[in-house]
Amino acid sequence: MFTSALSKPGGKKGKKSGPRPPRCWKLREDSWGSNPPLVKSYLAYSPSEPSNTGDSPAVVHSFPICGFGWRFQLSETFHYLKSDSKPHIQELVGQIDLTFQPNLCSSMPLSKFKVLVKVSNPQDNAKLTQEQQFTDITMQSDSKIGTYNGLSGSHWHEHVHIEVTLIFSRLDNLSLPTTASINTKKTLRLSLNGPSFIDTKFYLFSARVDGKAGHPKVVYANSALLTESSGYLHDLLSTEPTFKNATSCDLRRDVPEEIAKLDASAYDYDSDSDLEDESEGKGEDSATTAPSEEVEKTVSEELATRFQDGRAFAINGTAHKTWKAFIYYCYTNEIHFNELKSRCHPAILAVQPDFKSIKCSPKSMYRFADYANLPELMSLAKEAIRMNLTQFNIVEELFSRFTSKYQEIIELETHYLVENYTPYVAKDFEQMLERVAAGAMPHCGHVLKTSVRKLRAGGSSSATLAPDVRR
């Protein structure tokens, strides 16, 4: 909430200042990306000084032109609400409504696109950042892109930062320049300050061993670059006692006390394609897992004398390959995904990997982004999943354990099923029904209900399905 202390709001003690209108500007130039095609605008807004008389009419202001020529409009209002912490006190609360305006781009023949919005107050804890995403936005008309409040507490007079990302369809074949990430530039500057700017290492399972996650491997990073990228990393890497979950260490040596924290039973996703086959799990960045009975002895002997130049973290529930791609994304705002295994021929899977890019499974990244509350990354992973769907793998993907856990993916894949219900797909679907009826797919009850309902509503192509469903 943009709340006001009603005595001399925003002004210096003993000095009166008249009301000022909200000011909207760009913090820096837009950043552009090509994978996927996107434009991100970095905006700032300075709230106006509220009147003490109560509710006020909306004040509308436009930001400078962004991207190809579109712009964003902000509408600001103030009204009184009871305080959650002090019910007997009313606070003057600010609210902003954002609108996307095509402006100079209204005649561009572009497909519908996504808009991601992140609103935050840099004076407040990163956890208070609000994020929303919008689909099916067009260049033909104005679109509301969210209402935002509860951000800044008593800091109503501070600047509010707004990031708006437009993600375009690959089908439009847009060729956009790629802007160097601000984190990339910061990384290069930090590298000039000493022999190494790495101060953090993460341990994660990398392979499946006897059906369980195993073979810890390491990802190295610079914490200063990561803490600014998301609330999740802000809390994880915090040095405050409340969030203390790391071990100070010598980055050049294994940290057995952190390796011992890795728990295969915490890995509840049994088909993560980012876990490599056992024969592929070891590598140059593999960690040596000490037997549990040796960990305490190792710690007691070395802790007092160990050279410390960083911190180590054990990350459970996420594969090494997924985490490595995530850290790279935090640095560069660039993400690369592998094709779904259901789409690849075995001969293709046997080809040597492309070492020029850091890739991961879009399903693994979607799962992690959902856990870490990263809607922009979720959207990118979801789009990669959609691009990998074909008539030859849609049934397999729809009835997978992964899909059954996420309603958004169920909706995506059932829509594809209905729109592409060819004879080949119908045959696969009927065979899957037999497996479900035999009890081989206990996780698919909701998926089956949703699929049948949408197929029946989808037209004549679903007519042949009814007899099989009633059996």
Is the pTM value of this prediction over 0.75? no
Residue with tokens 């609000």: 130
Q: Determine the Cα angle at 173 with ends 170 and 176, to 5°.
A: 95
**Which one has a higher pLDDT value, 407 or 82?**
407
Q: Check whether 172 has a pLDDT greater than 70.
A: yes
* Across 109-123, 262-276, 379-393, least confident range: 262-276
What is the enclosing helix (H) or strand (E) of 165?
A: strand 160-167
Q: From the CB of residue 40, how many other CB atoms can be counted at a distance below 10 Å?
A: 20
- What fold is seen in the domain 23-172? 2.60.210
Strand runs labelled E in 35-70:
37-46, 59-62
- Is 443 buried (19+), middle (13-18) or exposed (0-12) by CB count in 10 A? middle
Identify the pLDDT of residue 294.
44
Per mean pLDDT, which range of 62-71, 222-231, 417-426 is the poorest? 222-231
Q: With 0-12 CB in 10 A as exposed, 13-18 as middle and 19+ as buried, what is 423?
A: exposed
pLDDT at position 375: 87
pLDDT in tens, 372-425: 999 889 989 999 999 999 999 999 999 999 999 999 999 999 999 999 999 999
Give residue-wise pLDDT tens across range 272-310: 889 887 654 455 556 654 444 444 444 444 444 456 789
The mean per-residue pLDDT over the stretch 177-181 comes to: 72
Strand, helix or coil for residue 248: strand
**Mean pLDDT of the region 125-154:** 81
